Amino acid sequence: MIVTRDPVAVRVERTGAQLASDVRTASSVWARFRGLMGRRALNEGEGLWLPGDTSIHMLFMRIPIDAVFLAPVDAVAGPGASWRVIAIRHSLRPWSGVVWYVRAARGCLELEAGAAEQAGLLVGDVVRFECAPDTTGPAIP
């Protein structure tokens, strides 16, 4: 899968709960089309941000996912951006078809099945994309 940018974390502002800790961005048309197709699993906290996508498909998927459709709250697009939850599709089954156009959405966050419920995410909540903590090891002074 072709993804770019460093991983970011996503936090629910209302509760402070971390929705995901390792979200990558699919920035090309091909990467957004491919999404998570063919993946055998998602690690805990892992997700894929599909900017600009207002619908998704589950064809060729091997794993169930949660799909969280978001709309921007402010004009900032990078880390630190706030997004309002427009719709949540819980535990979408592999090969279950298509989630058609979600009005007002400007992107879709694909997560492991159950992640949205575990974080207590609700439609209308605001989530914030934050720089993910560096997990490569301790900093060298």
Pairing of strands 18-25, 4-12: antiparallel
Q: What is the pLDDT of residues 16-59, one digit of tens each?
A: 999 999 998 887 766 666 666 667 788 899 999 988 889 988 88
Q: Is pTM beyond 0.75 here?
A: yes
56-112: per-residue pLDDT in tens?
888 888 889 999 999 999 766 655 789 999 999 999 999 887 889 999 999 999 999
Q: What domains sit in the chain, N to C, each tagged with a CATH number?
A: 4-131 (2.60.120.1140)
Give the C-alpha separation, 36 to 55, whole Å: 14
pLDDT at residue 42, rounded to an integer: 85
